[in-house]
Chains A and B, each alone.
Chain A
Amino acid sequence: MPATYPSPLAPRPPLVDSSAAPMTTDLSHLRPDFPILGREVNGKPLIYLDSAATTQKPEQVLAALDDYYRLHNANVHRGAYRLAEEATEMYEGARVKVAKFISAAVPEEVVFTRGTTSSLNAVAYGWGLYHLKAGDRIALTMMEHHANVVPWQLVARHTGAELVFLPLGTDYRIDVSDIDRIIDERVKIVAFSGMSNVLGTIGPLVEAVAAARRVGAIAVVDAAQLVPHTPTDVQAIGADFLAFSAHKMLGPTGIGALWGRRDRLEEMEPAEGGGEMIRDVFLDHATWAEVPHKFEAGTPPIAEAVGFGAAVDYLTAVGMDRIREHERELTRYALDRLATIPDLKVYGPNDTALRGGAVSFTLADIHPHDLATILDQSGVAVRAGHHCAKPLMRHLDVPATARASFYLYNIPAEVDVLIEALHEARRLFGVA
């Protein structure tokens, strides 16, 4: 049955911010930059609370994509004509912007990939496969996204390496009390989430990197939820690799980045071969282009890179410190209001200093999918399910949770609508 959609962009007055929750870091003036926030869903203003899955895009990013295709489109790197030069400059210019955004030492430390998943696979297959042997260990945590579990399982199967896991503490944080025992000399790779997409918990950045250093392992950060929401300085973190996606930080889908320390990237093999990534090709072998191009086989996502650069410009102009502060305030407000709903359980730390704005919860015996359907009728978009973290869900002993997640464009008035809709869910399900 083909779904039909009414014209979504019915003009409507903007949501008025709740006076009940004055925000010291008010970013509501940015909302008009996001055209989709003007549309309606089921006759109600869209309230988009699924930014941990993907974020909405501002006009500035849409314009950059449009401008690239209208005026500059050509394949990069080999063309000896003006358009190709422009496209190459824009593509490489985006790399410079992304590198600056995370304080990379040089732009060459940023490899463009299809996203966090492909970045992590690139490390697993380009570094892990060549450096692991039977008996070696890969240390992960109990709160990893499947993207930071399955690639390591695959590589472990090839190499005979084993996976070990840092446990989850009772406070929904990774328990690092035993980290020196778990991360021993057998561990060659420590790969962990910078911020959980389920719990919101900030990962053990300092402890895990230090433990990796101590035993000579490499540290890999799944920063899909970290880079979009907090100021990120790869030099300060001190890891070897850090992976993130453009579409979770206002940019287009289909592109992300792998940051790697220069020497690590040099010793890493390409996971994909093809055009663009070679220095020379013979019948029986080939030699690689310089870092980062040896990891960028085939025509790259050029327009997407340009859009990624525009997203980074946008976030930089707003200021990552302000964005972090705004999300802390909004998450505080949401957690406090959620706490007033009987039978509602939040899975994640209560202290906003320890967490980001992804808030998972369950409500009485109402299944999260039913909750999502009910909330959708109020225009509220939340995610329901296992959030690609089944080992964590099993550990929490819940088949699924509902998750509301915030970004710079969300406001307290939207939390209020969420809360009202949750009360409606209780009524519909007759929860006493």
Chain B
Amino acid sequence: MSLDELYRQVILDHYRNPRRSGRLESPTAHADGTNPLCGDEISLDLAVRDGKVTEAAVTGRGCSISQASASMMADRIVGKTLTEVEDLIHRVKRLLDIEEGDAGLDPERPGAALGDLESLAGVRRFPVRVKCADLPWATLQQALADGTAT
């Protein structure tokens, strides 16, 4: 179990320079995620138009894993259809060992499948930290569920 595998450069970069940080002026979906045990917080704004995520913005505070995961997520989902986002959520959960199955990584082309998100693969070896990486994705699921309902 290597700490270098967990705290990869790309994770630290997203932690210190979070992408799509802030709030949207007119989000169509929103969710707040917290982990009361460790205090990690994520607040997610989404703009969904014609079945596509057109904008995403995140604020939050917490550990490097939760905040980097949120940053990478926000960056990744913009421009994706809801079906693609849904698929992505499950692939990340498989990557984190939360769901069973293949995350769809291409061993021949590392980074091609999930991009920066592949750096989260190291988290699965630290079971107590998996919930940190998952928090933004659970929040995203909640935002999508709420957004669809309204």
A interface residues, Cβ below 8 angstroms from B: 1, 3, 42, 365-370, 373-374, 377, 384-386, 399-400, 424, 428-430
Contacts and interface: CB of A to CB of B under 8 A. Distances in A.
Contacts of B62: 367, 369, 399
A369 B132 contact: yes
A385 B63 contact: no
A373 B127 contact: no
B39 A385 contact: yes
Contacts of A385: 37-39
A38 to B, nearest CB: 22
A198 to B, nearest CB: 14
B149 interface: no
Contacts of A1: 97, 127
Nearest to B130: A1
A370 B127 contact: no
Interface string B35-49: 001111000000000
Given A370-B65, A400-B39, 9 more contacts: A367-B63, A369-B65, A373-B126, A374-B7, A385-B37, A385-B39, A424-B3, A428-B3, A429-B7
Nearest to A424: B3
Nearest to A390: B39
Contacts of A429: 7, 12, 64
Contacts of A373: 3, 6, 126, 128-129
Contacts of B3: 373-374, 377, 424, 428
Interface in B11-69: 12, 16, 37-40, 61-65
Closest 8 CB pairs of A and B: A367-B63, A369-B63, A428-B7, A370-B63, A370-B64, A377-B3, A399-B39, A386-B39
19 contacts: A1-B127, A365-B16, A367-B62, A367-B64, A369-B40, A369-B62, A369-B63, A370-B63, A373-B126, A374-B7, A377-B1, A385-B38, A385-B39, A386-B39, A428-B3, A428-B4, A428-B7, A429-B7, A429-B12
Interface of B: 1, 3-4, 6-7, 12, 16, 37-40, 61-65, 97, 126-129, 132
Nearest to A369: B63
Contacts of B128: 373
A404 to B, nearest CB: 18
A92 to B, nearest CB: 39
Given A370-B63, A385-B37, A430 B12 contact: yes
A1 B129 CA distance: 13
A370 B129 CA distance: 9
A374 B63 CA distance: 12
Nearest to A365: B16
Contacts of B126: 373
B123 to A, nearest CB: 10
Contacts of A386: 39
A173 B59 CA distance: 34
Contacts of B61: 399
A399 B39 CA distance: 7
B70 to A, nearest CB: 13
A390 to B, nearest CB: 8
Contacts of A428: 3-4, 7
A367 B35 CA distance: 15
Nearest to A377: B3
A400 B65 CA distance: 15
B119 to A, nearest CB: 14
Contacts of B65: 369-370
Contacts of A377: 1, 3
Contacts of A42: 1
Contacts of B12: 429-430
Nearest to A430: B12
B46 to A, nearest CB: 25
B97 to A, nearest CB: 6
